[in-house]
Amino acid sequence: MAKVAIMGYGTVGSGVYDIIKTNADKLSYSANGEKVELKYILDIRDFEDHPEKELFTKDFNDILNDGEVSVVAEVMGGLHPAYEFTKSLLESGKSVVTSNKELVATYGTELLEIAREKNVNYFFEASVGGGIPVIRPMHQCLTANNIEKIAGILNGTTNYILNQMIKSGKTFETALKDAQDKGFAERNPAADIEGHDACRKIAILASLASGKMIDYNDIDTEGITNITLDDVKYASAMDSAVKLIGYADFGKDGKIYSIVAPMIIKNESPLSGVDGVFNAVMVTGDCVGNVMFYGKGAGKLPTASAVVADVVDAVKHKERSKKIFWEKPDGNVMADKDSKRFAYFIRTTDSAEKVQKIFDKCEFVDNIVDNESAFVTQPMTKTEAENKLSELSDVVTNIRIMD
């Protein structure tokens, strides 16, 4: 019998509760016959009408000091007090599983280190891609591979917005409003549309793939707020789609190039077909080539199902710390921003002649908007691109083409 606790009874927390209740037999079967029993739910709010209101507590110490509790699901979100709680629990020898990408991306290195010292586990499958199995498959099933590249659609809100623009011809503003009305986007959508959410997730994936902590503050992050309906139409005309991509490239020299930005993706790539609130992560290994993991990147039960899978894995691995972690690197592991070349899709009101003069070899795209030049450049570094763009009298759009 394994006693577990849930911290935070919001959307995900109540999903974790539902799954533990409804799929109890399945869970104990998976946990080698050991029954998974819920002992506490920590939340500052009152749940007087809850069928099991006796499980609720407002005092974190009830969980921390209960020797019976071996696994805790932290689904409260935010940095504080989630960080302090998680740290205390790991130090007291309890395993913690989380869906808190903010916490994993910010304090993951330290928390994973404590878990290892205490020979317990800190699992975070739900922190990236919601219910999609990606952390474990990448760590375990692709273990024979050196990971060369990761490219992921990691934020459902922005993908939904871009999709509404593509499929329904809505402007960015209308699509955002629609997403907010449907509850897919926050009233303050900055974290999503400016790419910060995707940035934390690619930082986690890149850290796991390289075994070295990638600080999300070091990742060049660009959102989708500048993407217009015309850009999306141009992309469609190029048999492509615009997606917000969390991207990481692992050089043979051990350096990692990472960026979050809207990119134009050819329809041949399975990433281009990822619609609505779905997420997908494409991982390139030196042996396996491209593999993709696809599914619901958010939502109550999808996310909770990943959290509960982690709970079961933690129950199965009591006193056996699994090797899912990364460490602080000695020195800088981030590659120079000019170490990677992308082709760019550019729109400008300058003439084709002027464009040709500045960009030399480039492919022009049939105009969708009058009196402008639209073209795709040769692959170039960020500095090269900036220099050439500065020579144009104006730049309507510049979007990277994903390689």
Q: Does 378 bind a second copy (CB under 8 A)?
A: no
Choosing from 2, 5, 12, 19, the residue that interacts with a second copy (CB under 8 A) is 19
If one counts every other C-beta atom within 10 angstroms of the C-beta of residue 215, the result is: 16
Cα→Cα distances 305→40, 134, 191, 333, Å: 19, 13, 24, 34
Q: Report the residue number, 187 or 323, with the smaller CB distance to a second copy.
A: 323
Q: Does 308 bind a second copy (CB under 8 A)?
A: yes
C-alpha radius of gyration, the chain, whole number: 23
Question: Are 137 and 111 a contacting pair, CB within 8 Å?
Answer: no
Q: Does 236 bind a second copy (CB under 8 A)?
A: no
Query: Burial of 375 by CB count in 10 Å (0-12 exposed, 13-18 middle, 19+ buried)?
Result: middle
Choosing from 88, 92, 290, 339, the residue that interacts with a second copy (CB under 8 A) is 290
- Comparing CA positions, the residue from 189, 125, 106, 124 lying closest to residue 155 is 189
Q: Report the residue number, 32 or 390, with the smaller CB distance to a second copy.
A: 32
Q: Does 211 bind a second copy (CB under 8 A)?
A: yes
Rounded CA-CA distance 350/337 in Å is 28
Cα→Cα distances 289→211, 283, 284, Å: 20, 8, 5
Handedness of CA 164, 168, 173, 178 (dihedral sign): negative
Q: Which of residues 126-185 bind a second copy (CB under 8 A)?
A: 131-133, 136-137, 140-146
Q: Does 74 bind a second copy (CB under 8 A)?
A: no
> What x-and-dash track marks residues 26-65 binding a second copy by CB under 8 A?
xx-xx-x---------------------------------
Q: Does 361 bind a second copy (CB under 8 A)?
A: no
Q: Report the residue number, 29 or 364, with the smaller CB distance to a second copy.
A: 29
Choosing from 61, 287, 331, 361, the residue that interacts with a second copy (CB under 8 A) is 287
Question: Are 170 and 164 a contacting pair, CB within 8 Å?
Answer: yes
Backbone angles phi, psi at 242, to 5 degrees: -90, 125
| Catalytic residue, candidates 201, 212, 243, 322 | 201
Choosing from 118, 201, 296, 382, the residue that interacts with a second copy (CB under 8 A) is 296
CB of 367 to a second copy, least distance (A): 28
User: Which residue stretch of 56-64, 308-316, 351-359, 367-375 sits at the interface with a second copy (rule: CB under 8 A)?
Assistant: 308-316
Choosing from 160, 295, 314, 400, the residue that interacts with a second copy (CB under 8 A) is 295
Q: Report the residue number, 117 or 286, with the smaller CB distance to a second copy.
A: 286
Task: Give CA 31 to chain center in angstroms.
Answer: 28
Rounded CA-CA distance 261/252 in Å is 23
CB of 394 to a second copy, least distance (A): 37
Q: Is 201 a catalytic residue?
A: yes
Rounded CA-CA distance 136/132 in Å is 10
Question: Are 343 and 377 a contacting pair, CB within 8 Å?
Answer: yes
Number of amino acids touching a second copy (CB under 8 A) = 50
Question: Residues interacting with a second copy, by CB under 8 A?
Answer: 15, 19, 23, 26-27, 29-30, 32, 125, 131-133, 136-137, 140-146, 211, 268, 270, 273-275, 285-296, 299, 301-302, 304-306, 308-309, 312-313, 323
